Amino acid sequence: MCIRDSHKTIHKNCIVVVHRPDTVLQPLCAEKVRSLPGSTTSLPWTIRRMSTRKSYPQFRQNTPVRRRPAGHDSSGGPSGPVAPAVRPPAESPRLVMLNKPFDVLCQFTSQDDRRTLKDYVDQPGLYPAGRLDRDSEGLLLLTNHGPWQARIADPRHKMPKTYWVQVENEAIERQLAQLRQGVDLVDGRTAPAEVNRLAEPLLWARHPPVRFRKSVPTSWLQITIREGRNRQVRRMTAAVGLPTLRLVRVAIGPWTLADLQPGSWRELDGF
């Protein structure tokens, strides 16, 4: 027979007193409870709250803590020697550069059938240092070393990133000056950028190809920024009347795309 409430469980011949700041957890048999002042002797058991310092000092006791002997397991039997924990060896920092093709997600997993980095870099433990939009191409750095990832991607380090950008219309000096000084976007004014005209570069063919409008000319710009806002270059060129048609990142800090072909990757020496 037992009675339960939110604070205690009472068995027929044993009482469990709940621990409180001024009490101690003390099991008592019913015979001892009947001998306490004020106890109800007509009941087979009674709950009494005992103070450790005031009411019933005769029931205070220092119960020794039973410890398992050294070299014994939880069942009490002897156990064998415990082997020290062995940590796996730390991985060496790695830095990899990838020429990300157009229409590839800058991640290793996808919930649909879109292409991801896993289709091109089958190296466990590597993660992108920064991002490159699905509809952008070019240089992407991957690393397994957190400090390198932060140093490359965190805008506080102001690592320069250079893009070749094909835009609609012929860029005029006024538009270039706006890009160099900073452009007002929804999330604030951009930092000054390095912007120059660029002759049409020799690049690989994009699949699918860029859609041109025969009646609208195009031009190429080289833009270097030190921020990391979402789709920043595209928004900057659109804000000055030069919508982006194609965007290729060719450099991050000291690393350049050089002759690396789309979908190919190369190991780097790191910092």
- The C-alpha atoms of residue 130 and residue 145 are separated, in whole angstroms, by 13
Structure tokens at 127: 């993660």
Which DSSP letter does residue 184 get?
E
Q: Which of 103, 133, 154, 187 is catalytic?
A: 133
Closest C-alpha to 261, from 204, 221, 215: 204
- The C-alpha atoms of residue 151 and residue 136 are separated, in whole angstroms, by 22
Residue type, 57: P
- The C-alpha atoms of residue 233 and residue 29 are separated, in whole angstroms, by 81
- Whose structure tokens read 């103070």? 51
Assess whether 112 carries a catalytic annotation: no
Q: Which residues, in sequence order, are CB contacts of 27 under 8 Å at separation 6+?
A: 14, 15, 16, 17
Structure tokens at 82: 């415990």
> Which residues belong to the active site?
133
